[in-house]
């Protein structure tokens, strides 16, 4: 919000995530209010049925959040008792809390399964940090005209300092300065500065030459940090037929397109845009399709969730983050056991090289995380002692 206001970009509040939702699970459409006694097609215990989804979230997950401490504090997690949570997958954590197999199958649908390759693949401590941060949210906002207006505003303001079509081919850390070698017009050019802020995702950084090498701990973090595969398909419809039943903003499914979100819920006019997102194994499978096949596949999935929707379809477009050469994945995550071993070394500077990006922030996967980490790296540079010459 600070930078949106700085650049005078208009913003609008998004509908709350707690708005009525739709689940499509095991071939059934379930309109859920997250409360008790919903007829879920899962084998829940009597207590779980009474609790409802929201009650199960609180019982199995929410009760742990207070014990995490300040998840945004530098050096977190420092409590060795959290190591047990890091070693567990999310699925193992839920079972350890007493969740039935039916509850695990229900709770994984949607948000939990969007990370990595699903709840069997990533650290329970990472999941708990994500939920702790969500509890601090009050309102969410969108930039009118598209979120890309913010980076475009930065680019316009910093136009004289940006070098386009100049990929980094080598990073050269040093004790008194640091250099990067870029490729431009078929030639290599070395740029030297007192400090470098590296915002390159580790999924890309691992293929860039670093000489002299980073420390073994940093090199291990760069090499081992995994990234979530995500393919997003955006579909435009001439009218918002999905609102005729209820004002849906979000639908979650156990289909390959796991998460459906309306990006035009707060915009005027009859047309609407739905995003259908596939992650993990499904994200990689959808990415293997051609552009038109991705759109048709997503449309066929949405047709199952909202029957009759395809008659209003106008056009679609997709984005595979795995195929983006400057990202090679949507966002970083931690496999079980990785958070405590890798996290301290992701952020730590290497001499005069500082690190920022969503992967270097508690708010991973979000633009806010990238901005927060950039401000932190800038403070590191400003507070660093001058180099001895």
Spell out the domains of the chain, with CATH numbers in brackets.
17-134 (1.10.405), 167-226+331-383 (3.50.50.60), 230-320 (3.90.660.10)
389 falls in which pLDDT band (50, 70, 90)?
low
Give the pLDDT of residue 199.
Answer: 98
pTM: 0.94
Q: Does the pLDDT at position 17 exceed 60?
A: no
Cα–Cα distance, 167 to 190 (Å, whole number): 12
How much of the chain, in percent, has pLDDT values that exceed 90?
A: 84
Q: How confident is the model at residue 25 (pLDDT cuts 50, 70, 90)?
A: very high
More confident residue, 140 or 64: 64
As given in the structure block, the two tokens for residue 17 are: 């995530």
What is the C-alpha to C-alpha distance for residues 248 and 265, in angstroms, rounded to an integer? 9
| pLDDT of amino acid 35 | 82
CB 219 within 8 A of CB 78: no
Q: In terms of DSSP bridges, do strands 250-253 and 21-25 run parallel, antiparallel, or are they unpaired?
A: parallel
Q: Are 52 and 67 in contact (CB under 8 A)?
A: no
pLDDT of residue 265: 85
More confident residue, 19 or 208: 208
Does residue 248 register a pLDDT over 80?
no
247 has a pLDDT exceeding 50: yes
Residue-wise pLDDT tens digits, 82-117:
999 999 999 999 999 999 999 999 999 988 999 999
pLDDT of residue 20 exceeding 50, the answer is no
What token pair was written down for 285?
């499978």
Q: Which tens digits make up the pLDDT trace of 296-344?
A: 999 999 999 999 999 999 999 999 999 999 999 999 999 999 999 999 9
Phi, psi of 266 (to 5 degrees): -105, 10
Instruction: List pLDDT tens digits, range 211-223.
Output: 999 999 999 999 9
Mean pLDDT of the chain: 94
């Amino acid at each position: 919000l600070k930078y949106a206001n700085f650049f005078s970009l208009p913003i609008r509040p998004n509908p709350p995530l707690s708005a009525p939702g739709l689940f499509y699970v095991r071939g059934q459409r379930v309109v859920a209010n997250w409360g008790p006694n919903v007829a879920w097609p899962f084998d829940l215990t009597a207590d779980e049925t009474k609790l409802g989804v929201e009650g199960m979230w609180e019982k199995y997950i929410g009760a742990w959040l207070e014990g995490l401490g300040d998840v945004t504090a530098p050096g977190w997690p420092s409590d060795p008792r959290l190591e047990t949570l890091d070693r567990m997958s999310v699925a193992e954590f839920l079972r350890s809390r007493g969740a039935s197999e039916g509850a695990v199958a229900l709770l994984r649908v949607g948000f939990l399964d969007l990370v990595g390759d699903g709840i069997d693949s990533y650290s329970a401590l990472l999941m708990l940090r994500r939920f702790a941060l969500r509890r601090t949210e009050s309102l969410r906002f969108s930039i009118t005209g598209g979120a890309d207006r913010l980076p475009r505003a930065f680019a316009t303001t910093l136009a004289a300092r940006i070098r386009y079509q100049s990929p980094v081919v080598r990073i050269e850390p040093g004790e008194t300065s640091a250099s990067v070698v870029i490729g431009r017009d078929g030639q290599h050019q070395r740029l030297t500065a007192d400090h470098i802020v590296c915002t390159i995702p580790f999924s890309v950084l691992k293929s860039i030459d670093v000489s002299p090498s980073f420390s073994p701990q940093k090199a291990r973090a760069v090499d081992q940090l995994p990234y979530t595969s995500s393919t997003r398909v955006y579909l435009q419809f001439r009218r918002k037929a999905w609102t005729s039943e209820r004002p849906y903003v979000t639908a979650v499914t156990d289909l390959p397109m796991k998460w459906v979100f309306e990006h035009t819920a707060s915009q005027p006019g009859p047309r609407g845009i739905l995003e259908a997102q596939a992650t993990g194994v499904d994200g990689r499978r959808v990415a293997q399709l051609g552009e038109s096949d991705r759109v048709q596949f997503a449309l066929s999935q949405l047709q199952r969730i909202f029957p009759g929707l395809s008659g209003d379809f106008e056009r679609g477009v997709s984005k595979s983050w795995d195929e983006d050469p400057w990202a090679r994945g949507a966002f970083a995550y931690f496999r079980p056991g990785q958070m405590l071993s890798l996290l301290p070394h992701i952020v730590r500077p290497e001499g005069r090289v500082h690190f920022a990006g969503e992967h270097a922030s508690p708010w991973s996967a979000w633009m806010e995380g990238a901005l927060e980490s950039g401000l932190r790296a800038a403070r590191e540079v400003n507070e660093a002692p001058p180099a001895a010459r």
